[in-house]
Structure 1
Amino acid sequence: MRALLMLLSWVFLQWQLAFGASYDGPRYDYYASTECKTYPEAPLYDGGILADRTGKIPMTYYKMETGVYSPAFVLYNLTGTTRYTFSCWVKIKGTVSTLLKARLSTETSTSKCVGTASAKSSCWSFLKGGFVLDSPSQTSILYFQDVEANNAIEISVTSPSLQPFSVEQWKTQQEENIRTKRKRVATVHVSDSQGNHITGASVTAQQLSKDFPFGSAIAKTILGNTAYQAWFAKRFNAAVFENELKWYTTEPEPGKLNYTLADELLEFVRANQIVARGHNIFWEDPKYTPSWVQNLTGDELRAAVKSRIDSLLTRYKGEFVHWDVSNEMLHFDFYEQRLGYNATFDFFATAQQSDPYATLFMNDFNVIETCDDVNSTVDSYASRLKEIKEGGGVLEGIGLEGHFSKPNFPLMRAVLDKLATLKLPIWLTEIDISNSFDQQTQWNWKEIDTTCRIVANYYT
């Protein structure tokens, strides 16, 4: 019996070392949906603080600047720094579909977006988002807005939920998820050359490599700079070339290919066992499309596009773990305007044939940073990803540029939850914080990395 108790104590000690103390606060609910459903589902957290003592969720109506009345929730005594996660199911009447925004208005700040959903008249759509206040608010209004300001639209809202998490609760769950999702217990048995068990042996462990990719952009400025190279290789195990693979660099004039800089950067990452992402094959923004390509149409443009894919991916077959096939296509459509809406399907299919070893990505901005950009809502991104896959494109990864002003962590997590329902790898491909903030403030928001690693890893 004593031996059994000692064994159980040892197991419990190992569990504590690996996973730490358990968390008994409210659990973040990762549920999300990008499907429009016949019937709405129950509210997360049983409604959270929206529910009264009887479990009912009172709703009022708010008159917006347009004179239209919107379903709304009057919120009292919201606290600053608290992370509020909001969700509900929405449906409309008066048009087939539209983009709805959930907005929060306080007595001390202008109205801000806290979540979006592509709402339809035939089914219920799930809206998930959240917010953090800079300062406490005695009375706030959370309401809904049709981005087209169509006065004829009726908005129905059901199963709403608003759940607060303190900074400590949020951080504790992050740390717990890191322990449970990214760490494991390891048992080391030590024996001599004859296989006899050795007790009291001293064992040390040293990490030789990192499994989770953490990287940065590099450019031609690193070439020949040994101090910079050593600094980079010590800190990062992943890299992306800033401009050296882009079409305007590798082929500034038709037929005049120049891969010199890309080859030299590739030699550096190879020598230091750093994985590299290929960025990018095509950039939909005409401003970053080679000037000579901008003048092409029809068959000439199709031939140039095919030549670009064949040349780039044949040369670097197997060298880059990812390729951003179509960059920022939620905001720009240079190729679709000239070759048809489905042109991107062929880009992905051809790229996969040229380099079947690489994971092919879409990549865009303002998906995770904000919900104010109507071009790049989480539902519009998910819809485009589905279209490409259903159209025959071999799309295997979701790229999120992260150009942050002030991060909204509950919104970030909600966006990741919805994208994760597609069961594709999610990468934060770019990250920067506005230099309008001082370095200490920027450092305080290092949680961006933690949030993205946890949620993306949780699903994929």
Structure 2
Amino acid sequence: MITFLLTFCSLFLLSDGAAELLNNPDFESTSFSGNWVCNGCTLSSSTDSFHGNRSGKVTHRTHTGVGLGQTVTVSPGNIYVFRAYVKILNMVSGHMFHNVQLRLKGTVHGHSKYVNVSSNPQTRRENGWVEVGFDYNVPSGMHQLSILFVIPEMQVNYIVDDASFEELPYDRNWKSEANARIASLRKAPISVNFQNLHGSGYTVEIQQTGSKFAFGSVVDASMIVDSVHHPYQQFYYDNFEWGVLGNALKWPQTEPVHGHPNLDKAMTAVNALRAKGKKVRGHNMFWGTGKTHPRWLNGMNSSEIIQSMHTHINDVISHTRGTLEHWDVYNENLHGMYFEEHTGHVNITKEMFYWIHHAEHGVKLFLNDYAVASPGSMTTAYKKQAATLKKAGVPIYGIGIQCHTNAHLNISALKYRLDKVAETGLPIWITEFTVNEVDEVLKANALEDMLTLFISHPAVEGVLLWGYWDGRIWIHDSALATGHDVTPNEAGRRYLQLYHNTWRTNESIPVTGNYVYTSGFMGDYTLRLKHNGHLVRTQHFTLDNGGNTVKVNMP
């Protein structure tokens, strides 16, 4: 009987989700003995709750590094996922935002190790309950870890509720499942209906000429138009359908001298890409980290900065209108808030979206940030930011995720992070992707795995590499092609196989009746009907969700 109950409980846990490892995770018990602790602070029970009836209230913190915590038992090598909801109760004078951080403390071979695993830098009292969280791969030798809530300003009081800490299972069949999703998500049925077709010896060729799922790369604005770099250009034009200029559209480059904007270099490159049928993203309108804004903004007052921002938008859109598909509106603003800090406008990100949307209604507007996919320290914060904009009715189309990584990024963790951001209901674009590895086989395998995961994810609409040639790339060992002739290496050959063959439809089918049925990857197509090897009819069509029936009328 005991064996039966243990087996039943195990099956229940496996079928109903992972086992909860926290004690008193929902704070419904007012006794914190054996569960939550607050060293250097006071922990009490509160009836202000996110879920249920109670939460944990943290007050009287004695220094910046203390806060609520709980210790859990873990297994080395496993990945765990933590989630909780936090509400800060007061703002410290002089601060526009507070950063709710999650920190881990563990012991490895007798030595304590502290890791900052999550950052939520734009938290305000007016936000109410805010989700925080992380995923963490436990290192070898660590069997217990303590989860700590830390806010640098010790005067901030906060409450916590609805916490969870669970193991993230590794799916050994992830790739076969991903390939099944690819077939379901990215392909659609094709029916070809032949009318007035008589006789035999006919063959129909169905050739895909463009992909609905976006494959692209950053390009150098000078090299893409300079004939000296023909191999660089040819590799791009043969193997990508989307482009983004790495630097040429950024504000410091388009207006290094105040009042003298010059977009000639950028527009020459944009027009060259469009002339070849490529679609182009705009990167970026504003950027507020470090030295990424024009130096001449420094010293201006709030109204002068805002007026300069309006002028910049108008200058840029007057040149780019109708040529760009996307704009990254405020680049990496979880990592740098220059425009909030220097204008005093806590909601200026929202205003940027409205301003650009007003200037050009048709362009799709994005956030764009890193530490979301690799690493994942801001995954939950990014989700919160995008969801807040969407809920407020801000004209945001999608979420740009930078993913600069190596071959050791865990696929289960990467999928978890994509799933977390996808909870917003907004489309995702992998806007900057690199796999940095010296070992070309290792790099090729990781590149294939990650691209497979990206194209299999229902929220992801496209992937843009952040360079492909070792002669012009941000991270040298992420190159797909090398040398003067831009020759593909092992990773490059793997990409070419995926792009031109694995995820592209090209078929030749004998015609034996009035219909031919097949399926293909969604995108643009050319259909060629041949009779005894001779071309007799050419048609173009687009395959989208729901499929397409193509009628071929013979005279």
* Structure 2: segments with no counterpart, 5+ residues: 1-11, 22-33, 40-64, 91-97, 463-555
Select 1:144's aligned residue among 138, 143, 147.
Answer: 147
2:200 is the alignment partner of 1:206? no
2:299 maps to which of 291, 295, 298: 295
One-letter code of the match for 1:144?
A: I
For residues 96-148 of structure 1, the C-alpha deviation after alignment (integer angstroms, 9 at most, x for no partner) is 8984648595858967677789999x979574636487xxx587335422234
- Equivalent in the alignment of 2:326: 322
The alignment yields a C-alpha RMSD, in angstroms, of: 4.1
CA distance in 1, matches of 2:402, 2:85: 30
Aligned counterpart in structure 1 of residue 418 of structure 2, from 416, 419, 427: 416
Instruction: Tell me which residue corresponds to 2:273.
Output: 269
1:214 deviates by 0.9
Alignment correspondent of 1:433: 435
Superposed CA deviations along residues 370-407 of structure 1, whole A, max 9, x for unmatched, are 234xxxx2232233334445666422221111222542
8 A contact 1:246–1:282 mirrored in 2: yes
Aligned-residue offset at 1:307:
0.8
Q: Note closer, same or farther for the CA distance 1:206–1:61 as it changes in structure 2 (3 Å cut).
A: same
Distance 2:461 2:295 in 1: 41
Shift of 1:221: 1.9
Q: What corresponds to 1:233 in structure 2?
A: 237
Distance 1:443-1:270 versus aligned 2 partners, 3 A rule? same
Which structure has the highest strand share of the two? 2
**Would the alpha carbon gap of residues 264 and 238 (structure 1) be closer, same or farther in structure 2, given more than 3 Å must change?**
same
Aligned to 1:177, which of 162, 178, 181?
181
Q: Which amino acid aligns with 2:446?
A: W
Change (3 A) 1:398 1:45: farther
Q: Does 1:354 align with 2:359?
A: yes
Note closer, same or farther for the CA distance 1:363–1:158 as it changes in structure 2 (3 Å cut): closer
Q: Which moved more, 1:293-302 or 1:389-398?
A: 389-398
Give the aligned residue type for 1:413: K
Instruction: Name the CA shift for 1:315/1:327 in 2 (closer, same or farther; >3 Å).
Output: same
Q: Partner letter of residue 145 of structure 1?
A: L
Contact 1:130 1:410 in 2 (8 A): no
* Sequence identity (%): 24
Counterpart of 2:93 in structure 1 is: none
Q: CA deviation at 1:87?
A: 4.2
8 Å contact 1:114–1:131 — kept in the other structure?
A: no
Measure how far apart 1:352 and its partner are. Answer: 0.5
Cα distance change, pair 456–428 in 1 and its aligned pair in 2 (3 A): farther
Q: Is the 8 A contact 1:113 1:371 kept in 2?
A: no
SS of structure 2 residue aligned to 1:217: strand
Structure 2: distance between partners of 1:253 and 1:187: 58
The 3 A distance-change label for structure 1 pair 400 and 443 is: same
> CA offset at residue 296 of structure 1?
2.2
TM alignment of 1:358-437, pairs within 5 A: 358-372=363-377, 377-389=378-390, 393-405=394-406, 406-434=408-436, 437=438
User: CA deviation digits over 1:147-182, x for unaligned, max 9?
Assistant: 3498x989777665424234x411111111111111
Corresponding residue for residue 252 of structure 2: 248
Alpha carbons 1:72, 1:142 under 8 Å: kept: yes
Please report the TM-score for the alignment, with normalisation by the length of structure 1.
Answer: 0.72
Count of matched residue pairs:
395
TM-score (norm 2): 0.61
What is aligned with 1:452? 454
Paired AA for residue 73 in structure 2: V
Preserved contact between residue 455 and residue 461 of structure 2 (Cα < 8 Å):
no
Distance in 2 between residues matched to 1:303 and 1:349, nearest whole Å? 15
Letter in 2 for 1:129: D
Q: Deviations over 1:302-342 (max 9, x none)?
A: 22111100010122111110011111111111111122222
CA drift at 1:276 = 0.4
- Whichever residue aligns with residue 74 of structure 1, its letter is T
CA distance in 1, matches of 2:315, 2:124: 43
| 8 Å CA contact 1:399, 1:428 repeated in 2 | yes
The aligned counterpart of 2:135 is: 129
Quickly say closer, same or farther: Cα 1:256–1:177, change in 2 above 3 A. Answer: same
1:338 and 2:346 matched: no
Q: Quick check: 392-401 or 299-308, which moved more?
A: 392-401
> Structure 1 unaligned runs (5+)?
1-41, 52-59
Match of 1:39 in 2: none
Counterpart amino acid of 2:433?
A: I
Tell me how far apart the structure 2 counterparts of residues 64 and 261 of structure 1 sit (CA, whole Å). Answer: 57
Give the Cα–Cα distance (whole angstroms) in 1 for the partners of residues 397 and 450 of structure 2.
23
Q: State the alpha-carbon separation in 2 of the partners of residues 141 and 88 from structure 1.
A: 15
Which residue does 1:278 correspond to in 2?
Answer: 282
Partner of 1:56: none
Structure with the higher fraction of residues in helix conformation: 1
Q: How does 1:55-74 map to 2 (within 5 A)?
A: 70-74=69-73
Distance between the aligned counterparts of 1:403 and 1:428, measured in 2? 10
Amino acid at match of 1:414: Y
- CA separation of 1:359 and 1:201: change in aligned 2, threshold 3 A: same
Which of the numbers 26, 44, 48 marks the counterpart of 2:18? 48
User: 247-256 or 408-417, which moves further after superposition?
Assistant: 408-417
Q: In the TM superposition, what is the alpha-carbon distance from 1:410 to its structure 2 partner?
A: 2.5
Q: For 1:443, what is the secondary structure of its paired residue?
A: helix
CA distance in 2 between counterparts of 1:324 and 1:458 reads 16
Whose Rg is larger?
2
- Counterpart Cα distance in 1 of 2:387 and 2:353: 13
Distance 1:229 1:378, change over 3 A: same
Counterpart Cα distance in 2 of 1:104 and 1:445: 30
SS in 2 for 1:207: strand
* Greater Cα offset, 300-309 or 153-162: 153-162
Alpha-carbon distance in structure 1 between the residues aligned to 2:253 and 2:85: 47
CA displacement 1:167-215 (0-9 Å, x = unmatched): x411111111111111234344556536x8x7x9644322111111111
Do residues 90 (structure 1) and 75 (structure 2) align? no
Distance 2:460 2:242 in 1: 21
